[in-house]
Copies of this chain bind each other. A is one copy, B any other.
Amino acid sequence: MNSRHTWLAGVDVGGTTIKLAILTEEGTFIEKWEIPTNTADSGHHIPSEIAAALRLKLNALDTDFHALKGIGVGAPGFIEAETGFVYQAVNIGWQNYPLSERLEKETGVPVFANNDANLAAAGEMWKGAGEGAPNMLAVTLGTGVGGGIIAEGRILQGAYGMAGEIGHITSVPEGGAPCNCGKTGCLETISSATGIVRLAMEKVHRGESAGLKEAFDRAGSLSSKDVFEVAAVGDQGAEAVVEEAMFHLGLAIGNLANSLNPNVIVIGGGVSRAGDRLLRALRPHFDRYALPKISAETTFEIARLGNDAGVLGAAWLARQQGNRSE
């Protein structure tokens, strides 16, 4: 049986599933599992369902909540880090919801909450591609473009927990594509998986890429990885899409690096499955727009933790904040 208060729980609340993990203080997984996200009643059942899932697993490990030093929770939305109060998490249903308070009441364990993109960044800093880098920029290229900024080993929160919204950097100041945020021309309309596929489908519809059309006809859909692969065999239409997406990403990240001076930039999310192909296409644009010294000293890495980044980052948060409040 575990001695008291030495383990950590990491929880990553998504729109469809909640990922949970129990870890040692050193970040070694003891258990890792998922439960469905119950979005009924504006997500009000979620804290008790997280608590029940943790209790069952701890009991199976022949222990209880006393084994936990803290619980870290990430969710997609605007969250006040100090209080764990969720202003809004649209996909979950929470609005002005005291997440940490509710989960502490259910478990009796200190709870620390933060935005999921920030915690994925923290996870990569702790155990992944940014391991040991005190200054890190994490960019997640998925449905949207998410960001997490680590400065001197801490999550950069900003005034209202909104720091890191790099997907809404404006890449096209006039006449850009509409974005979910209400603006137009945001980076995520171009360089996200969604953006890359949108640009690729334009090429298909205009008959400007035989390779993309063939890939689309074969599978009935296109992924951003398809676009990188078709570009790699010399299809000019696909190459133009990759260039456009990587130009805007390199410009935005280069500008950010001039302001933040990170040791390492970690690229994750579905688009990062293109791996070295992505980095080779991205780097020249970054090098052109970053200051010479920044471009010389900043390294790029593909994220390593995949879906584990969120629970690892949540556990890191519980460890860091728990140590601080002792």
Using CB atoms and an 8 Å cutoff, list the residues of chain A in contact with chain B: 78, 133-135, 147, 149, 151-152, 154, 156-166, 168-170, 173, 181-183, 247, 251-252, 254-256, 258-263, 288-289, 291-294, 297-298
Contact = CB atoms under 8 A, between A and B. Distances in A.
A156 B165 contact: no
Copies in the complex: 2
A169 B261 contact: no
Contacts of A294: 162, 165
A263 B159 contact: yes
A262 B160 CA distance: 8
Contacts of A161: 261
Nearest to A158: B261
A64 B162 CA distance: 47
A163 B291 contact: no
Given A160-B297, A255-B170, A292 B165 contact: no
A251 B258 CA distance: 16
Given A133-B159, A147-B259, 12 more contacts: A78-B293, A135-B163, A151-B163, A152-B154, A159-B263, A162-B294, A165-B294, A166-B258, A169-B259, A170-B255, A173-B251, A255-B255
A293 B151 contact: no
B262 A162 contact: no
